[in-house]
Amino acid sequence: GYIEVAGQLGTLSGFGVNLGGYIHNFNIEGYGTFGLSKAGVYINYTDGNMPNEEKLSASLFGGKFGYGIILNNRFRLTPQVGAGVIVAKGEVVKAAAVTASVALRCECVIINHLGVSLTPEYSFAISKKPVFENLSAVSPKINRWATGFNARIGLYYYF
């Protein structure tokens, strides 16, 4: 098993935690990523007390599975497929989309029980809730949160 602290760069930059493990080289992993960027959208509220601009931030939660290919006693490559839910949330607005992803987890052991990983991945929306669909139409940034390339770089402890 492993627990990992990771930073993510790409269409949804942020930081998060991965929990996973290998059983006979089969990999299963759960993750949570909290986005650092915000997207502003203007909303026409009927109540004059509400703000016109809503600042949304994103969070992504999901899981992946794959098969680890051991290269030697320090390196392993793991092709992965997965699914997740991205939540765009502001003060008033909350929207979600379901995503699918393909990734390649590249691991390198540094010292006993400690390693680094690099995971390039491509995610794409497979189902958008109506509010997320509408927000994606007016904000390319929100649309890219659900569909695009990301690279996760992490430091993991394995046991």
Distance of CA 93 to CAs 11, 29, 87, 143, 146, Å?
21, 30, 10, 16, 17
- Nearest-angstrom CA–CA distance, 140 and 43: 16
Give tens-digit pLDDT for 34-58: 999 888 887 766 665 655 778 899 9
The answer to whether the Cα torsion of 13, 56, 146, 64 is positive or negative is: positive
Give tens-digit pLDDT for 89-145: 988 889 999 999 999 999 999 999 999 999 999 999 999 999 999 888 888 898 899
Spatial CB neighbours of 49, under 8 Å, sequence gap ≥ 6: none
pLDDT of the residue at 37: 85
| DSSP class per residue in 116-152 | EEEEEEEEEEEEE-HHHHHHHHH-HHHHHHHSEEEEE
- Nearest-angstrom CA–CA distance, 81 and 56: 27
Buried-exposed string 40-50: b where 16+ CB fall within 10 A, e elsewhere = ebeeeeeeeee
- Nearest-angstrom CA–CA distance, 20 and 28: 6
pTM of full prediction above 0.75: yes
pLDDT of the residue at 139: 86
